[in-house]
């Protein structure tokens, strides 16, 4: 089940999940129906025009797929790539929290309530820190942005999944929000950028998230993925 599938990363993740035989039905939560899904696509959309009761909508959507059984054959993996993105600079911190923290918390709670979700894969951001300074501008990479991302991580952790995989990309290359100039400049300074802050191609981020979601993870409570761990996951699986 995917939240955030209409975003640039979410769209790429959706493609990876559809192409991965480890997943059967790919269930998405969307505000408006997609016009691009083919008749043979394994994507099923659950349209939610009002997200105020997202947790209940998630429960309803999951119960509609394969019945209410909680057996391993009908288990569900939750994915979220939901986030405001570049628009955070125009929002107050409370407006930012309403999306990144509250909607992700409700999504996670709804998944947990079904009894069928043992593993959630959650996209955060490099630098996420719930103790970061809450003032100043809210643009990506600034303390306030990192504060909200850290709070979102804590909200999802508190739900208590058996396994939680947190992906923390730095600059994401290959998406509209990352300007061409940034895409050209960032790699030039890669040699002096700490490994955890290395930029990642959107296709690599999405692939690593999908691969992680397909893994059997008994007792792997919380694991964080920065750029090195994402690439290790891809290279290990490919090898």
Structure tokens at 98: 């309403």
- Give the position of tokens 């940034």: 182
Higher-confidence residue of 209 and 137: namely: 209
Q: How far apart are the first and last CA of the chain?
A: 27
Inform me whether the pLDDT recorded for 165 exceeds 80.
yes
4-18, 64-78, 138-152, 154-168, range with the lowest pLDDT: 64-78
Q: In the chain, what are the domain boundaries?
A: 2-238
Q: What is the mean pLDDT of residues 54-67?
A: 87
Q: How confident is the model at residue 190 (pLDDT cuts 50, 70, 90)?
A: low
- Give the position of tokens 């939750």: 78
Q: DSSP H helical segments within 91-194, as ranges?
A: 93-97, 104-114, 143-157, 180-185
In percent, how much of the chain has pLDDT > 70?
85
Inform me whether the pLDDT recorded for 19 exceeds 90.
yes
Q: Are 104 and 156 in contact (CB under 8 A)?
A: yes
CATH 3.40.50.720 fits 2-238, yes or no: yes
Q: What is the mean pLDDT of residues 110-138?
A: 95
How many CA within 13 A on the CB side of residue 132? Answer: 22
Inform me whether the pLDDT recorded for 129 exceeds 70.
yes
Q: Which of 199, 196, 233 lies closest to 214, judged by CA? A: 233
Q: What is the pLDDT of residue 26?
A: 94
Q: What is the pLDDT of residue 238?
A: 65
Which pTM does this prediction carry? Answer: 0.90
Helix (H) / strand (E) containing 82 = none
Q: What is the pLDDT of residue 69?
A: 43
**What is the C-alpha separation between 139 and 135, in angstroms, rounded?**
11
Higher-confidence residue of 40 and 215: namely: 215
Structure tokens at 41: 């696509």
Inform me whether the pLDDT recorded for 239 exceeds 70.
no
Average pLDDT of the residues of the chain: 88
């Amino acid at each position: 089940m995917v939240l955030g599938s209409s975003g640039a990363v979410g769209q790429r993740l959706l493609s990876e999940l559809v192409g991965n035989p480890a997943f059967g039905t790919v269930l998405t939560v969307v505000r408006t129906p997609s016009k691009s899904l083919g008749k043979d696509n394994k994507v099923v959309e659950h349209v939610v025009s009002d997200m105020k009761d997202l947790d209940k909508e998630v429960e309803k959507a999951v119960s509609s797929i394969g019945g209410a059984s909680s057996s391993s054959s009908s288990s569900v993996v939750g994915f979220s790539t939901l986030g405001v993105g570049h628009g955070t600079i125009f929002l107050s911190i409370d407006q930012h929290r309403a999306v990144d923290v509250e909607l992700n918390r409700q999504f996670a709670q709804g998944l947990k309530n079904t009894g069928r979700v043992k593993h959630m894969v959650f996209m955060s951001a490099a630098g996420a820190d719930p103790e970061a300074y809450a003032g100043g501008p809210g643009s990506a990479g600034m303390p306030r942005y990192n504060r909200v991302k850290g709070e979102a991580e804590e909200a999802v952790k508190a739900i208590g999944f058996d396994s939680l995989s947190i992906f923390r990309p730095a600059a994401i290359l290959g998406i509209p929000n990352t300007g061409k100039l940034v895409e050209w400049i960032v790699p030039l300074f890669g040699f002096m950028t700490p490994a955890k802050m290395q930029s990642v191609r959107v296709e690599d981020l999405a692939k690593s998230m999908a691969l992680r979601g397909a893994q059997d993870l008994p007792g792997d409570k919380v694991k964080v993925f920065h750029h090195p761990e994402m690439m290790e996951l891809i290279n290990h699986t490919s090898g």
